[in-house]
Amino acid sequence: MSAAAEGHEAQSQDILAKVHHDLNVWNFPDNGDVDFGFGPINLKTIVMTWIAMILVIIFTVSATRNMQLKRPGKLQLMVEEVFLFLRGLAVENLGTKKANSMMFLVFSLFIYLLFSNLLGLVPTMMSPTADVNTTLGMSISVFILAQVLGLYYKGLGYFKHFVQPFVFFLPINIVEELSKPLTHGFRIFGNIYAGEVLIAVLLGLIPITATIFGGFIASVVWLSFSIFVGFVQAFIFTMLTIVYISMSSAESH
């Protein structure tokens, strides 16, 4: 690497660090610096998760409080439409009975991920899903749930699919099974984290490019695209949850 490129990279790192430093108006400590006695934790992620949880609770409770049968309000209609859309997906993949028993998980996952993804677009806030701990924790939970449901619905016959079509395929099948939670968790993390980094970079570039490329226009365009990405990633995570559960609990494998 030439000295000029190295200097360039150091400069962009400086810009990013400066933006992060400027945006940290709440003075959160860096990741892993806080330890309440049971290991290092990321305080900012957890606080943002609580904010997202509170927003989800406020949204859903205000939407479902005082529900109307004949003239639903706007919030109620929104929640109902999301619910019906997800239930359609779940019924298609799982069958009505299993879908009804899994619906609360699917609905909660979607709403929570959506709010988490969109929270990062608010200045000085951060998406809980931009931390790999959140996404990996959820994907591993979904993975364990899928295994448990597979055992519950199919009994010990569930383990048969590890040795299909031959016993020889056992390690491959295990790797395939283990790769599911990893890709599941890292997909949403990568998308949301990249979106946040790019937001910070575009903010840092404003002083440099303001006169050449129109300054904050690129930042605004990227923010609006991030809204779309937030929806899509929440939907994909939910959809994959349904698919994994249906794969592990399907009657015929």
Partner 1 sequence: MGGILDSLGINQTLVAQVFNFVLLLIFLRIVVYPHIVRMLDERQKYIENTVNAAEEERKQAEDLRQQYLAEMQKSKDEARDIIQKASKAGEEQAREIIEAAKAESNRIKESALEDINREKEKAVSELREQVATLSILVASKIVNEKITADIQRGMIDEFIKEAGDLPC
Comparing CB distances to partner 1, the nearer of 136 and 239 is 136
DSSP letters for 25-42: TT-PPPTT-EESSSSEE-
What percent helix, strand, coil does the chain show, rounded to 5?
Answer: 80, 0, 20
Residue 231 Cβ vs partner 1, minimum distance, rounded to whole Å: 19
Residue 64 Cβ vs partner 1, minimum distance, rounded to whole Å: 4
Comparing CB distances to partner 1, the nearer of 68 and 252 is 68
* Binding site residues, partner 1, CB under 8 A: 31-32, 38-42, 45-46, 49-50, 53, 56-57, 60-61, 64-65, 67, 69-70, 76, 79-80, 83-84, 103-105, 107-108, 111-112, 128, 131-134, 136-138, 140-141
Comparing CB distances to partner 1, the nearer of 24 and 209 is 24
Q: Measured between alpha carbons, how far is 56 from 115 in angstroms, rounded to an integer?
A: 7
Comparing CB distances to partner 1, the nearer of 139 and 219 is 139
Residue 145 Cβ vs partner 1, minimum distance, rounded to whole Å: 11
Both structure tokens of 160: 């048969």
Q: Measured between alpha carbons, how far is 77 from 65 in angstroms, rounded to an integer?
A: 12
Residue 4 Cβ vs partner 1, minimum distance, rounded to whole Å: 29
Compute CA distances 101 → 96, 104, 151, 190, 240, whole Å: 9, 7, 16, 30, 17
From the number of C-beta atoms within 10 Å of its C-beta (0-12, 13-18, 19+), residue 136 rates as: middle
Residue 66 Cβ vs partner 1, minimum distance, rounded to whole Å: 10
Comparing CB distances to partner 1, the nearer of 87 and 161 is 87
Q: Measured between alpha carbons, how far is 139 from 182 in angstroms, rounded to an integer?
A: 7
